[in-house]
Structure 1
Amino acid sequence: MRSLRHFDLNLLLVFEMLMRERHVTRAAEKLHLSQPALSHALKRLRDALDDPLLVRTEHGLQPTPRALQLLPIVQQALAALQAGLTPPATFDPATSTRRFTLATTDYFEEVMYPAFLSQLLGYAPGISFSIELITPEVLSEALEQRQVDMVVGLDSQSSLPSGVVQTPWMHEELVCLAAQQNPHVGDAVVLEQFARQLHVELADISGLLPSPIENCLTQHGLSRRVISKNLNYIAAARVVSLTDAIMTLPRQMAERFVAMLPVRIVAPPAELPALTMTLIQHSLYANAPANVWLGEELTAFSKNTHR
């Protein structure tokens, strides 16, 4: 045999079985082949290797020295192929000590993460998490290099680099937050009134998130004045509590601030879209058992939370 390209690798299975059984009929049965088919495969092996391989003697078929030399090499190669083709072991949360790194929004870290972690530790006591901010580098580099396992909570309208996969995760209603003593808004605002207010919003450090609020206002020929862009929700909510500005945020986050600060929830304009959040990971690792498990746990948790 001069080149592996011209050798049928299926013949290695035939060779290994013939060497094990030393009997054509039994080898054919084990390989689920007819005896003529196996005899033909043996002839091809002999031609390819330029050796009789198995010779009929008074004691049945016996291997030639060339066959005995090849046997451990073929067995090792077949074992390596079998190991490589075997599906990876399933992720076992009960015994894993895996540390996951998540890049997340304030919403997930404040509203979802504490209860999510508490639940997981009940049946995955060895796992742990690191939480990071969502930045352009996370999406373009860290996911591919597996420095970050998953991005949780980014809006579905975000522009994403190639190579990452985005899965819908959960929907959340947007509401407005205003100081309790804010005289400019009541229990609800229409779009024109909403545009006239002073606004506080979160700064988009990812650089990838188009503002659904700005898009909505632009479509209706309106604009607004943003007096403060903050890095986190709690700082933004404190600004709202001390000014006549309003902010727009997910309802569950707003409900937490109502319990903490002198603020109240205001029904937003009907034209504002709901927030659709996603799970993002790199396609290189999307089928890794640990990533699959984590994605399933996050999805199940979000569904239970919104029943």
Structure 2
Amino acid sequence: MRSLRHFDLNLLLVFETLMRERHVTRAAEKLHLSQPALSHALKRLREALDDPLLVRTEQGLQPTPRAMALLPVVQQALASLQAGLAPPASFEPATSTRRFTLATTDYFEEVMYPAFLSQLLGYAPGISFSIELITPEVLSEALEQRQVDMVVGLDSQSSLPSGVLQTPWMHEELVCLAAQQNPHVGDALALEEFARQPHVELADISGLLPSRIESCLAQHGLSRRVISKNLNYIAAARVVALTDAIITLPRQMAERFVAMLPVRMVAPPEELPALAMTLIQHSLYANAPENVWLYNELTAFAKSASR
């Protein structure tokens, strides 16, 4: 045999089966081949290896010394291939001590994450999580280097680098918050009224909400004035409580602030789209058992939370 490149590796299965069975008909049955097809494969083996390999004797087919020497090498190679081609070991949440790193929005961390973690710890007590902010570096580098396992809650309109997979995750209604004593805002806002109000905005590096709001206003030839950009929701809500400004945010977050602060919910303009949150992971690791498990858990949680 001149080179492995010129050798049909399928013939190794034929060789190993023939050596085991030492009978052409039985070997053909094991390999689901016809007898003529197996005889042809044996002929090719003999030509490639320049050895008869199996010789017919009074005791039936018997291997040559070359065949006997080759057999353990072929068996080891086939066993290694079988092990390498086998599906990866399944992820066992009940016994795993894996630490997952999620890059998330404030909304997911505040509203969703505590219940999500509590639910998982009921049947995966050894797992743990680290929460990070969503940054451009997370999307361009950390996902690919597996420093972050998944990005949770980013808006579907966000642009992403190549190799990153984004799938729909959860929709959430947007509402406005205004101070209880704000005299300029009633129970609902038309789009032009909405644009005239002073606004508080979350300085969210992921662009979760501002891009959607600005795009919607621009489509109708409108713009708004943002009087305060805040780093977190609670500070932004407190600004709203003490001024005549409004803020637009997901309903479940707004409900928390209504219970905590002198603010009230206001119906937003009908033109504002719902918040379309996504799950993002890198395609390099999307089929890893632990990533599949985490993705399925987050998907199931979103479905139960939206009922």
**TM-score under structure 1 length normalisation:** 0.96
- Give the C-alpha shift of residue 210 in structure 1: 6.2
Q: Deviations over 1:98-150 (max 9, x none)?
A: 11110000111011000011111111111111110000010001111111111
Task: Output the TM-score relative to the length of structure 2.
Answer: 0.96
Would the aligned equivalents of 2:201 and 2:210 in 1 still touch at CA under 8 Å? no
Q: 1:304 to 1:285 in 2, by over 3 A?
A: same
How far apart are 1:37 and its partner, in Å? 1.7
Q: CA deviation at 1:204?
A: 2.8
Please, what is the CA RMSD of the aligned residues?
1.4
Matches for 1:206-245 after TM superposition, within 5 Å: 206=206, 211-245=211-245
CA distance 1:192–1:210, change in 2 (3 Å): closer
Moved more, 156-165 or 201-210: 201-210
Comparing 294-303 and 90-99, the one that deviates more = 90-99
Taking every aligned residue pair, what percent have the same amino acid on both sides? 90
Greater Cα shift, 250-259 or 217-226: 217-226
| Alpha-carbon separation, structure 2, partners of 1:167 and 1:125 | 27
Cα distance, 1:282–1:121 mapped onto 2, change above 3 Å: same
Once residues 206 and 267 of structure 1 are traced to their aligned partners in structure 2, the CA distance between those partners, rounded to angstroms, is: 25
Per-residue deviation, 1:253 = 0.4
Distance change in 2, residues 1:207/1:276 (3 Å): closer
Q: Is the 8 A contact 1:212 1:273 kept in 2?
A: yes
Is the Cα–Cα contact under 8 Å of residues 157 and 210 in structure 1 kept in the other structure?
Answer: no
CA contact (8 A) 1:28 1:38 kept: yes
Distance verdict in 2 for CA 1:251–1:29, change over 3 Å: same
Cα 1:186–1:239 shift into 2, 3 Å: same
Change (3 A) 1:208 1:106: closer
Contact 2:152 2:278 in 1 (8 A): yes
* C-alpha separation in 2, matches of 1:209 and 1:136: 16
**What's the CA shift for 1:301?**
0.8
| Distance in structure 2 (CA, Å) of the matches to 1:21 and 1:151 | 54
- Shift in Å, 1:59: 2.7
**How many residues end up aligned between the 2 structures?**
307
Name the SS for the 2:160 alignment partner: coil
Deviates more, 1:234-243 or 1:57-66: 57-66
Q: Which ranges in structure 2 are unaligned for 5 or more consecutive residues?
A: none
Equivalent-residue separation in structure 1 for 2:45 and 2:182 (angstroms): 88
Contact 1:135 1:207 in 2 (8 A): no
Equivalent residues in 2 for 1:57-72, closer than 5 Å: 57-72=57-72
Change in 2 beyond 3 A, CA 1:190/1:134: same
- Distance in 2, matches of 1:182 and 1:109, equals 29
Kept in 2: contact 1:175–1:251 (CA 8 A): yes
Q: How far apart are residue 51 of structure 1 and its match?
A: 0.9
Counterparts of 2:194 and 2:62, CA distance in 1: 91
Q: CA deviation at 1:28?
A: 1.5
Question: What do residues 151-173 of structure 1 show as CA deviations (whole Å, max 9, x unaligned)?
Answer: 00000000111110110001000
Deviations 1:203-230 (A, max 9, x none): 1323687611111111111111111111
- 1:178 match: 178
Superposition deviation, residue 60 in structure 1: 2.4
8 Å contact kept, 1:136–1:208: no
Question: Is the CA contact 2:209–2:249 (under 8 Å) kept in the aligned structure 1?
Answer: no
Q: Deviation per CA, 1:60-104, whole angstroms, max 9, x where unpaired?
A: 222222112211111111111111221222222112211111000
Task: Give structure 1 stretches of 5+ with no counterpart.
Answer: none
| Residue 53 of structure 1 pairs with residue 56 of structure 2 | no
Report which stretch shifted further, 261-270 or 52-61: 52-61
Distance 1:207 1:260 in 2: 26
